[in-house]
A = this chain, B = another copy of it.
Amino acid sequence: MPHLLLKDLPRYDCLLKAAKEFPDLDPSAMEAFLHLLRTGDEVFSVTDHNLNAHNISHGRFGVLMLLRRSCQPRIAALMGDAAGVAGPRTPAELAEAAGVTRATMTGLVDTLERDGFVTREPDPDDRRMMSVRLTAKGEGFLREFLPGHFKVIGAIMYTLTETERKRLVSLLVKVQQQVAILNPYREHTVSVAS
């Protein structure tokens, strides 16, 4: 389930040594990169274990969370959201919101339906479409699971002060923005070895 990395990150002096062989290797950039991947992975693992203990994968959890929003349009309306703006309901909307392909979403909804967390109903207006909805069991699972999930996340971040959290987030956002800048040119930046 992890992104797969080295078990032990290379020590900084190893990076310095490697930089002698590869002039393109920026040791402090590589160090930050490796720690970012590693930390994201470890944090992911904790919540993933938590989810697996309840027999649910991250992907399936994401779908349930998206559907939870959809299933409470009245609450959303009360809270100030535009009345008509419900969350995603069709597999295509869910796939878009979750950032996976529709084919993947079909598989996720398959297993969620098999396990009784959601139902699939044909759309009366457009017979190509399906409408996915949380069942009572699905809602119950979230109600029962979420408090613990939030506690785990709070426990992980407990080690950082409010100031440190803000600082971390602002550094991460900077990296995200840089990735966004790089992405459109990926084809060019990538083809170094071709």
Instruction: Give the total of A residues in contact with B, Cβ under 8 Å.
Output: 87
Which residues A1-25 have CB closer than 8 A to chain B? Answer: 2-8, 17, 22-25
Grouping DSSP codes into helix (H, G, I), strand (E, B) and loop, the A interface class, with mixed when no group exceeds half, is helix
Does the CB pair B30–A190 fall under 8 Å?
Answer: no
Tell yes or no: A110 within 8 A of B by CB.
Answer: no
Contact of A148 among B46, B79, B150, B192 (CB under 8 A): B192
Does the CB pair B160–A32 fall under 8 Å?
Answer: yes
Which residues A88-144 have CB closer than 8 A to chain B? Answer: 96-100, 144
Does the CB pair A160–B144 fall under 8 Å?
Answer: no
Does the CB pair A24–B189 fall under 8 Å?
Answer: no
Q: A3, A97, A182, A189 — which one has the most chain B CB atoms within 10 A of its CB?
A: A3
Does the CB pair A29–B146 fall under 8 Å?
Answer: no
CA distance A179 to B169 in the complex (A): 18
Which residues on B sit within 8 Å (CB–CB) of A29? 153-154, 156-158, 165
Query: What's the nearest-Cβ distance from chain B to residue A122, in Å?
Result: 26
Which residues on B sit within 8 Å (CB–CB) of A189? 148, 151-152, 155
The chain A residues found within 8 Å of chain B, CB to CB, are 2-8, 17, 22-26, 28-33, 35-46, 49-50, 53-54, 58-59, 62, 65-66, 79, 96-100, 144-148, 150-160, 162, 164-169, 171-179, 182-183, 186, 189-194
